[in-house]
Amino acid sequence: MKTPVVILGCGGLGREIAAVLGLSGQFDPVGFYDDGALVGTRVLNLPVLGTIAALEAVDRSMAVVFGMANPEVKARIWNRLCLNHHIHFPTVVSEQALLLAREHVELGAGTVVMPGAIISPDVSTGVGCLIHMGCILSHDTHLGDFCSVLQGVVVPSGISLGNKEVVRAGKVY
């Protein structure tokens, strides 16, 4: 049985993540929470279920995936949502991503790995990270909490990023 999951944000990244979740054998996207969208509207055939304040008040188990890349915003919302013991943040790894020696890769809660990403052994992340499409993270790399590594970034071995860093699309260290 697939785990029902909601996505925070229905902008471009939120829509991409909804599509990845829809292809997943593990997750079933059921809708979006977004402060800037009208409740009841549909995005990719999924409803906008409410605002982030409404999500904060849920009284049943809820899996939440971030569909936003801004680390400051993710951290602020994460801290608010963590006050509700019903909310949890699954780690999402696209079935089209390649994790070499998966048992030697540590991904923090709420981390999302998009299609085409390649992650080598002995890579770790903090919580709430995004590893976008086509990224390569080589061995002995660490991402701090809420980092966003955008499309096509290549991170060679031994690099450590601090908390809340954004690595822009196409960057090679």
Mean pLDDT, 10 residues at a time, over the chain (173 residues)? 96 98 95 97 97 97 97 98 98 97 97 98 98 98 98 96 94 74
What is the structure's pLDDT at 171? 79
Q: Is residue 172 part of a domain?
A: no
Say yes or no: 97 and 78 in one domain.
no
Domain CATH code at residue 69: 3.40.50.20
> Does a structural domain hold residue 122?
yes
Q: Say what the pLDDT of residue 39 is.
A: 97
Owning domain of residue 79: 3-90
Q: Name the residue among 151, 103, 146 with its Cα closest to residue 127.
A: 146
Q: Own/partner pairs for 93-102, CB < 8 Å, 24+ apart?
A: 94/20, 94/23, 94/24, 95/23, 95/24, 95/25, 96/23, 97/131
CA-CA distance, 113 to 101, in Å (whole number)? 15
The domain total for the chain is 2
User: CB burial class (10 A; 0-12, 13-18, 19+) of residue 128?
Assistant: buried
Please tell me the predicted confidence (pLDDT) of residue 47: 98
Residues 20 and 79 in one domain: yes
Of 49, 71, 90, the residue that ends a domain is 90
pLDDT at residue number 158:
96
Instruction: Indicate whether 118 and 49 sit together in one domain.
Output: no
Name the helix (H) or strand (E) containing 148: strand 148-149
* pLDDT confidence of residue 172: 74
